[in-house]
Each structure stands twice: as structure tokens, then as C-alpha cells.
Amino acid sequence: MVLTPWRSLWETRLPSLREEIDRLFEDLFGRASTSLFREEVWLPAVDVYEREKDIVIVADLPSVDVKGVSISVVGDRLTLRGERKRDEELRDEYPFRLERIFGTFERTIQLPCEVLPDKAKATYRDGVLKIHIPKAEKMEPREIRVTIE
């Protein structure tokens, strides 16, 4: 039988709910209040998988120069930062429709357990960033017997 550590609702469901609400407000209000020529903040879609020995993070980063992407891990939080730049400047053209968002992004993801960030490996292919981070060894409780004199 596999035992799963208990985590409160706040730890398991609410961070992702908060990110979805942030994305909803960004989609609804962020575009309407900004200029067509101004770069906006966008949040790339992210999947997180927990496997037996590691955590896998998959992020969609189309049209992003991977050399400008920063990945950092502090405790049990991973942060992705970078920028998607517009291919060409719109100076003389009158835009008929502009739906793609360009600009900087920052995404902080709560990881399901402690990890070893020094041993992380990342690959980038076809606009998809995959990060593999090994899990930290769990400290098993042990009993220490003390003799009383």
C-alpha cells in the first residue's frame, strides 16, 4: 500500500486555482486596457508531474529564445522568467487583428515536494521546455535510545 503525505486544501488546490483566476483576469481585463503596440505580460501554460524519483515541469514557450529563459528553485518553488519578443516592429502598418501576446513572463510554481535543484536538467524543443528535477531524499525518522543513569 502506498502512503501519500497529507497536504491541506490550501497547498494542493488553491495555488492552481489562484493561477487560473489570475490568467482569467489577465485575459479579460489585461488586453482591453492596453494599447495595441504595448508589450503585455503573459503566463505560459505549465504542467507539473510527480514521478517516483523526480518532478517534471513542462512549459509551453513558443517563439521564446531559450537563452533568455531563467529557471530558479528556492525551497519547493520553481520560478520561470523570460521574454517573448515581437518578430518585427509595427510602425507604418495598421493592425487589423493582434491576438498574440508578447513581453516578459514570470511564473512561480509550487512543487509537490523538496527537490535537488543542483541536479536539474532541462531541454527545449519545438517551443516546449521540459525540466526534470530529482526529488530530495526524505529523512526517515529514527529512534534514539537514551539510557538514564
Q: For 48-57, how does the pLDDT look when each residue is reduced to its tens digit (9 = 90+)?
A: 999 999 999 9
pLDDT at residue 38, rounded to an integer:
47
Q: How confident is the model at residue 1 (pLDDT cuts 50, 70, 90)?
A: low
**If you average pLDDT over each of 14-23, 109-118, 133-142, which comes out highest?**
109-118
**pLDDT reported for residue 32:** 46
* pLDDT above 90 (res 73): yes
Cross-strand partners of 77: 74, 110
| Domains assigned to the chain | 9-86+96-134 (2.60.40.790)
Region 16-42: mean pLDDT is 63
The answer to whether residue 118 scores a pLDDT higher than 60 is yes
CA distance 62 to 33: 24
